[in-house]
Amino acid sequence: MACEQWQDQLDLYADGELESAQARTFSEHLRECPGCAAAALERVQMKRSVQMAGQRYSPSAELRQRISKSMVIKPHRQSGWLWKILALPALSLVILSVTINLYVGRESARRQRAYSELADLHVAALASATPVDVLSTDRHTVKPWFQGKIPFTFNLPELQGTEFTLLGGRVTYLAQIPGAHLIYQLRKHEISVFIFPDRGEETASPPSGPLHAQSFTVENWTQNGLRYFVLGDVGPEDIHALSQLLRTAR
């Protein structure tokens, strides 16, 4: 496929706005074209820089509290006690609604930010000439390599008899939290597995089955104090199959 056909779609790919079939085709093209891979990596790095700059000025909890308080209208004294009795339940409902909306919106934005950063890390790995720091298909080689590099340990599954192949891993960061980035291959498609400590903050999101995030399918869960994310441009059934292998790894 000629590179010219993808020049106008590099930004769409980096933003995860391509259709799934187009994203898979472009991923295959990146593995064969160093020029497009470098251009995609440049856009991903620029996108992450913009995101980090935007987070620097996100509203604080104190500001949100001040806004909530400013929405409460104090009754005039001449209105009497009856007005106050009638108004208090309505004001309480408004405050509760604002608080819930702020919390839900904050958690949703936090999850979307985490998914976006993970998708960027996945795309950057595909576009890199050295996607992993430890190159091995042997889990007994990859797992020990992380010792001393991240503050936790994890188990990797036995892949014999499955369609999955372990390619290797590297240390990565999400919201400045160090973690493991493992790359698996399935029918010429790369799948990223991210493992971080479950601190209930930037990586927080409810356990769920496979869902779509940008142009990728992702599944996440917590287990033994760790948060797992499995992300790739394959179908939900494949993401779930690898997730099940990781859940039962010993």
pLDDT digits (tens, 9 = 90+) for 22-70: 777 777 777 677 777 777 777 776 766 666 555 555 666 676 677 777 6
By CB atoms closer than 10 A (0-12, 13-18, 19+), residue 48 is middle
Taking the C-alpha atoms of residue 168 and residue 6, their distance in angstroms, rounded to an integer, is 29
* DSSP code at position 200: S
Average the pLDDT over 85-108 and give the result.
55
Q: What is the per-residue pLDDT for 148?
A: 94
pLDDT digits (tens, 9 = 90+) for 190-208: 999 999 998 765 444 455 5
Residue 149 has pLDDT above 80, yes or no: yes
- 37 token code pair: 């891979």
Q: What is the per-residue pLDDT for 52?
A: 58
Q: Give percent of the chain above pLDDT 90.
A: 36
Is 65 in contact with 99 (CB distance < 8 Å)?
A: no
Q: Does domain 3-55+107-247 have CATH number 3.40.640.10?
A: no
